[in-house]
Each structure stands twice: as structure tokens, then as C-alpha cells.
Structure 1
Amino acid sequence: MQTSSHAVAGHAVFETALGFMGIAWSEAGLTRLCLPQRNRDAVERRLLRHAGIAGQAARPEPQWVTELIASIKAYAAGEDVDFSAVPVDLAGVDDFRLAIYDAARKLAFGETTTYGELARRAGHAGLARETGAALGANPVPLIIPCHRILAAGGKIGGFSAPGGSTTKEKMLAMEGVRVGPPPSAQVSFGF
């Protein structure tokens, strides 16, 4: 993971099977990922709220960005995609969060763990609540798969993306993970 300070080099908003998503990147890697929303403008507004994104001239997307967008679209269509090699630029992120994010990135498609177990794997046993707070501040969900972290007892836990824990549960269901009671009706993917 890259941790040096880099200005945002570009951003993109694109449509997936789940709705509109957005990403921003620097020369060093991905700096922001916005999970699905119903319209392009909502995602664009979320990206623009973050420093360094507004008012940039359009630049060609680097090849890795083009490939990442294709991979995100494939994931949204239900494919098993491994995002562990995507470069991320986590400039300004403290060592605790970097350790938590690094441990989370090791979780494969459909693999879950608890906040407490993730804290232990990251070398911070006993800091489940702080781990939850770190994941709530995750700038690149999906790439750092915070949706795969559950509360104690296998409960869904919180999720800071649009749609909250409902979105988290839908993403897990796409990966074949069932949390809570069995669904009584077909799952809708309207984020």
C-alpha cells in the first residue's frame, strides 16, 4: 500500500449492474471509491466533496484504472473478482488503520471475519470497536472489503456506505454469504 502524499489525478463515474459508482485516483493509486447509488449526480457529488477532485481537467485514464472499472463492473454483475492487487494511495492514514486495512485486503471473495478477529490479525487484539471505526472511515470500500467484516456472533454490524447495513448484506449475498434469517423473497439490488 502506498502512503505518500499525492494529488488526485482523475476521477470517473460509471454505471454498473448495481447502480452508479465512482472512483478517484492519484499517480500512486486509488484514493476513493463510492459504492452504488441510483444516479450519476449523487455519486459525482460524493466524489466532489473530497479535496482535490473538483475542477480538474480531464486526463486519459491510466490502464490500471480502465482495468479496475471493468473489474468493478464484473463484480457488480456477480463475478468473483480479486481486488487485492489494486494499488491504493492511503496518504495521511495512520498506522493503526493501515494495519486494519492491510488485514482486511487479505479476505477473499465470500470470506468473512469479525471485527475482533480482524483486529487480532492486524496485531491489535482487543480493539474490535476501534477496528469498526477504522473500517467506517475506509476511503476505498470493496477494494478494502470492509463489507466482509461482521459483528460478534455473526451479526451484520454497521456499514457507512449509502444504504447502510442493507447494502452490506446485499454485497455479502452476492458473494454467497448469508447473514441473519433466510430471505423471504428474492433479493433486490436497488442501492
Structure 2
Amino acid sequence: MSGFALFDTAIGMCALAWGPQGLAGVQLPTDDGEAATRARMARRFPALRESLPDEMAQHAIAAIQGLLQGGHDDLAHIVLDMRGVSEFHQRVYAIARRIPPGQTRTYGEIAQELGDKGLARAVGQAMGHNPFAPVVPCHRVLAAGNKPGGFSAGGGALTKLRMLAIEDARPNGMASLF
């Protein structure tokens, strides 16, 4: 069974799409509300119809809702359908998924883990194209100097900071960002 569904969270109306291979995408809230989120999902996944979530999707929804309410589930148990995601992006996302709630890394640190600190900009671009936020927690990846950097979800960097505040994020063992 495949489809997409909208669901409410502490930061607004989110959505996810699923299929037999796992989650195909997650949508954080848009600035324009529920109708815009629904329309965006229909454009992103034209072959899917809005429907009741299957058991796997229900589990993912509950886990995402919990995280966005301050839970500490790292969501690593959620299976992602990575078809169509480049091998480089998959490597970046795998590293990002290991960042626990409440902690952060920088683009440069992820680039260094990939073997080349010069890849920091490419890491940032991968985060900007992340189709699975917050399951792939791009909000936990910061620019140099632990600055928020950009964020492609509705609300931009303010949404990123809000999500980090919910997690009481502490970059690299420092005091809270807030």
C-alpha cells in the first residue's frame, strides 16, 4: 500500500508519503498552512493519493510527533525509500541520522567524516535537498561556528531553531543554543 497523509505536530501540519520500500518523503509545515502542505505533497508525489496511513506510516507519524514534542527518539528505526537519492546524499544522510536528539554537528564535521573537509558546501546542499526531514535530522546540522545556516522548510532558520529548542540542543557539548 502506498499513499500520503497529513498529520498535526507541535510545530504545525506535517505530511509523509510511504510505499512498500519505506517512507518516500516527509514534509515539514509550510508557511501557508494545511492546504499548501497537501498541495505540495500532491506535486511531490503525483502517483500517490491521500489515504489512511498503513501500520508502518502510523508508526512513523507517532515517532515524528513524539520527537517534535520533545521526545528523544532518534527515528533511526524508520525505514526510508532511498531510490532516486544520490549515493553521496545517502552517505551524508546516514551520518546525519546518527546525530542524537539534543546534539548537533557542523557541515564541516560531516565533510571531515566523509574524508574531505572541502565537501562542507556539498554537505550543506545535501541537507538543503533532504526529502526526509526530520527523520534525517538536517536541523541538527549547523554552519561553521555553530551558526544555524539555512533551512529549506517553511519558516526557514526560525523553524530550525525552534526544532533545536524543542530538543534543548547543545552544540558540541556547549551550553544550550538558547
Is the structural similarity TM-score above 0.5? yes
Higher helix share: 2
Q: How many residues align?
A: 174
Q: Secondary structure at the match of 1:127?
A: helix
State whether residues 80 and 109 of structure 1, in contact with CA within 8 Å, keep that contact through their aligned partners in structure 2.
Answer: yes
Which whole-Å CA distance do the structure 2 matches of 1:88 and 1:169 have between them? 25
Q: Residue 22 of structure 1 corresponds to which residue in structure 2? A: 15
Which portions of structure 1, spanning 4 or more consecutive aligned residues, are displaced by more than 4 angstroms? none
Distance 1:64 1:10, change over 3 A: same
Deviation (angstroms), 1:118: 0.8
Structure 2: gaps of 5 or more residues: none
Is the contact made by 1:138 and 1:144 (CA closer than 8 Å) also made in structure 2?
A: yes
> Does structure 1 residue 32 correspond to structure 2 residue 4?
no
Whole-Å Cα distance in 1 between the matches of residues 177 and 21 of structure 2? 42
* Candidates 89, 95, 117, aligned match of 2:87: 95
The equivalent position to 1:169 in structure 2, one of 161, 164, 167, is 161
The aligned amino acid for 1:152 is A
Separation in structure 1 between the aligned mates of residue 19 and residue 57 of structure 2, nearest angstrom: 10
1:126 is aligned to 118
Whichever residue aligns with residue 96 of structure 1, its letter is F
User: Residues of 2 paired with 1:10 and 1:110: CA distance?
Assistant: 31
- Partner of 2:118, secondary structure, is coil
TM, length-normalised to structure 1: 0.83
Identity of aligned residues (%): 39
Q: Please, what is the CA RMSD of the aligned residues? A: 2.3
Contact kept? 2:13, 2:33, Cα under 8 Å: yes
Q: Structure 1: which 5+ runs fail to align?
A: 1-7, 184-191
